[in-house]
Amino acid sequence: MADRGRGGRGRGGGDRGGRGRGDYRGGRGGGDYRGGRGGGGGGGGGSATFSGLGGRGDYRGGRGGGGDRGGRGRGDFRGGRGGGRGGFGGDKFAGEEQVFKANAAPAPDPKITQLEDTILKDLGMVSKMAALQVSAKKGSTPSEHLPCRPAFGTKGKEVKLWANYYALDVKTPSLYKYALKVTLQQKESKKNVKDVPDNSSKKKDKKEKDLPQAKGRKLQKIIKSALDQVARDVLHATEYKAQVICVKPLPLPENNIVQVSYTDEGKDDTYNVAFDRAPDIDMDAFRSYIRTMENRSNDDSFPRYAPAIDAISTITGFQARGSDQVGSLGSSRHFPLNLSSELQSLGGPDFNAVIRGYFQSARPATGRMLLNVNVSHGVFRPHGRLTKLMEDFGFGDLNRLRRFIAGYRVRCRILPEKVVPGSKGGQQKERIIEKKIAGLAMPTDAKTQAAATRPKVKFAGAGPKDVSFYLSGSAPPGLKADAYCTVAEYYLRKYGHTVQNYPVIKLGSDLRPVYMPAELLEVIPGQPLARKTTPDETATMITFACRSPFANASSITSVGRQLLGLDNNSKLAEFKVAVGKELLTVKGRELMAPSINYLDPSAKRTKTIQTFEGSWNMRDVKVARPGNPIKKWTWIHVDYDEGRPFDQDLVLNSMRNFVKFMRLNMGIAMAEAPISSGQIPFRVGIQRRIPYIDTLRERFKLFPKENPDFVFVVLPGKKTDTDMYKAVKYLGDVEFGIPTVCVLRSNVTKRDGNNLQYFANVALKVNLKMGGINHKLSNEVNIIKDGKTMVVGYDVTHPTNLQSNAEGLPSLVGMVSSIDTNLAQWPASAWAQTGKVEMLQEQLEEKFAGRLSLWARHNRGQFPQNIIIFRDGVSEGQFQQVLTLELPLIRKACARTYPANQHPKISIIVSVKRHQTRFFPTDPQNMTSSRNIKNGTVVDRGVTQATVWDFFLTAHQALQGTARPAHYTVLLDEVFRSTLGAEAANGLETLTHEMCYLFGRATKAVSICPPAYYADIVCTRQRLYLADYFERSETQSTNSSVNVPSVEVHPRLKDTMYYI
């Protein structure tokens, strides 16, 4: 899961000093190019709006306060605005129309609307007949996997919207598909011709999985070379990775393997490209399905006809992927490398750039195929002459420079050898090969080599006169064989080239280095950034990526069409594929926003608050119900021992004001004064040379003497706060079982009431941690209010940003569940399972049974009759796995928990945020102040399949940028149709929408329903505990097998909202 809101972040860089003169070693000083890491903690944002002050939204929609430190979160640059800095600046809509093509938006295609209605009407007749057949079985409930849509929703005001889809006219005949597998052919060992015993240490042939794998540009070149041999006269398309699509069979060798000689890296390598014939793709059957939505093949897979859909995506993306002017990431994202208007530098010292590119993917819909096109952003490393990049970065810190250049793919100029008068042979030509930079020359290079021939590097990042290597065998004229020579001498004698005084570049590897002068290397364009962006880079990136719906729609229909080759594309024409000229319009509906209830302190009764654009404020109200009383609390102030200490009295007075505000203004149940023995100071001195967690642990060890119900931790507000925050959460959540909340000193100590909103934001989290209810809906949702329905959310997060050989890191599961009709408290359960496995394993049965028992404890010993599950983070290709692997474990949990004669009805809905569908307003009267579609807008037709029960819901208001709707798909329904009948579709959409107003730490609707949102936050907190393992980057070493400790929340905090 984005893999999201990260809370406060450290700052990158540092003091780089001024430029030096003369020798390259005297240049700029080097701040850490990596910067501080983004802080974990509590997931995205969402904060209170107190006394009319503007609130910040959740990390998935508007602006976010990350972690429980309040403050501003950065958010995810691919989604809604995440806070950041600067925003658009000035008039953010300068030069823009209010809406895209306001007076030129056609009505949604009436033929498609009629077809959708006809299909659902026919399905309804079939369902009634099926119901008659089972009517004799009283009390039975149909358990249908991937149920058909019961009806289209009808609630809400109808509006017309643009969608980022083009219609596709696909007349392609039947297609042939080959799966591709590229492997390096091992070279035969040379035979030992001497008649001596063979006691050499020759390595045995490597297993295929241990051979170097071709990737990226290299893989593309190999596949292109193979296709040039066998597909030159056959119309074909490929993504240059794993498959090729053709209109007729390829003339392959008998063994279906094509050999490719690859010499671009200076090696005489041979790669085997295996073509594995896949089942032919019947495009006529696919077109019939699109026209009728009838699954005549009885194929239970989802999505239906996935090979055909994938083939069309490959065909439509083929031109962009094959262009040298386009950089492609994954299978669907393409970026222009030569358009300055689509690029923004992220600044020094790395000078990476964010590029605006475009996503494209074919999608099936009722009656037609569609092409989904969206703006996408990627971060790429700078390219050009390596010496120029090194000069821009600076030479003040060679260790950082080494990390900066490591991993670059470069073109290496292999100079012609100097012609010696009287020698045989003509003038050679300069050659270009491609290599990967390992780093700078280092004294530790080739450490396993014999000392007598090991390279001699005088210091890290040495220049060409200070790096010597052993020249064995023949030597260029003027140099001795079987002797050492410097890089400068070698290039002068062999090539007649005077090497410039830059650090020597190391190719190859640390154990087998190959040295080259920097001026002979050029960095290849289009190389994506592998590491995390720094906070400053992220802020710049967000500002560049945050654009209005009008701007994004305009880009899609202009630059996007050109980049993707959607017009005048001869390859598409040959495949008989045509792309519509205009974006589609669809019908949407604006659902009515619910009202919110708080406690009116003057009348001591419920007070109803109206919302506006998905937001509201807490003026003159208190939380709906305070949590368990905080009878004993304390606080600590983390400060640095180095330097001048911060004014402790100011912090003390500020904390008193903070607690007073929570008690009197927010209604939080807590004692007025902190506990203290008088011998334990509030201040905790931190020394940078001692791990923060060790110092904080010594302070936490004193808490059992005081037995506090809650601990507030004031952080100094430095870039090291992230590490302190991790330490506090690990100690409080795992080791000692004490609820904690972290606050920034700069926010707590603000004067003149400028910190009231910050106080309110933190107070909401405190109340949730203590079991309270911050707000309620004025009218409870029908299916929830009878107290017989439990709602569950769960998610899985996986190791990311790690070396490909890292093994042993687990995937982390987070699960939350409701306990009453208020949907305010969502206690959590979390655990680890096998790494990189999305489907939940056997532990799900035990953990789910625990959720059921927890419900019973809060509901007079009764188990829920209905269970509604929101499963977050699975792709369409994994829907069936949820039903075949996870659902049986859930049923087992129910069977072992419920009485023998009882079993609950279960519905499973998948919630997805990481998709590329966007909707834009067509009428200024139906948009928000940020020019987005209105919050509460739902779309369930036009870009969906009539037979699949799904819908897009934009519950929140995106304060800036383009709103991203959440996509919900029903995998199993035993609840809504049996309970609500004809209103099942409306009931699910209403429930999902209104739950988005119940995210406890915010005073605004969030963009995805709380069970899914909270489950994601639980995963983020679990990841925080294992940050030392999960946040290694590609530049850090990782053992091939990692022994990760098991981490469980302390028993005192289980079944609480400790994670918020």
Mean pLDDT, consecutive 10-residue segments, the chain of 1060 residues? 33 35 36 33 42 36 37 34 38 82 92 96 67 44 76 97 98 95 77 34 52 87 96 96 96 96 86 96 95 80 91 97 92 94 93 97 97 97 96 93 95 87 67 94 94 94 96 89 95 95 96 96 95 90 94 97 96 97 98 95 88 92 96 91 80 91 95 74 80 90 89 84 91 96 92 85 97 93 90 87 57 94 96 74 92 97 97 90 94 96 96 95 93 97 96 94 96 95 96 97 96 96 84 44 72 95
Report pLDDT for 263: 87
Q: Which of 5, 6, 7, 52 is nearest to 615 (CA)?
A: 52
Report pLDDT for 743: 94
Q: Specify whether the CB–CB gap between 137 and 143 falls below 8 A.
A: no
Report pLDDT for 207: 63
Report pLDDT for 755: 83
Report pLDDT for 706: 83
CA gap 972, 1002 in Å, rounded: 31
CA gap 429, 413 in Å, rounded: 11
CA gap 523, 384 in Å, rounded: 5
Q: Specify whether the CB–CB gap between 740 and 729 falls below 8 A.
A: yes
Report pLDDT for 429: 87
Report pLDDT for 982: 92
CA gap 863, 428 in Å, rounded: 84
Locus of tokens 């987070």: 814
Instruction: List, for residues 590-613, the tens digit of each pLDDT value.
Output: 999 999 999 998 878 999 999 999
Q: Specify whether the CB–CB gap between 100 and 554 falls below 8 A.
A: yes
Q: Which of 433, 470, 467 is nearest to 451 (CA)?
A: 470
Report pLDDT for 952: 98
Report pLDDT for 766: 98
CA gap 759, 662 in Å, rounded: 7
Report pLDDT for 594: 95
Concatenating the DSSP letter of every residue in 39-67 gives P-SS-S------TTPPP---TTSS----G
Sign of the C-alpha dihedral computed for residues 1027, 1032, 1033 and 1034 taken in this order: negative
Q: Which of 912, 1037, 907 is nearest to 976 (CA)?
A: 907
pTM (2 decimals)? 0.87
Q: Specify whether the CB–CB gap between 949 and 148 falls below 8 A.
A: yes
CA gap 891, 894 in Å, rounded: 5
Sign of the C-alpha dihedral computed for residues 41, 1037, 873 and 537 taken in this order: positive
CA gap 912, 870 in Å, rounded: 10
- Other C-beta atoms closer than 10 Å to the C-beta of 716 total 16
Concatenating the DSSP letter of every residue in 704-741 gives HHH--SEEEEEE--STTHHHHHHHHHIIIIIII---EE
Estimate to the nearest angstrom the gap between the alpha carbon of 770 and the chain centroid.
31
Q: Specify whether the CB–CB gap between 819 and 1057 falls below 8 A.
A: no
Report pLDDT for 38: 34
Report pLDDT for 834: 74
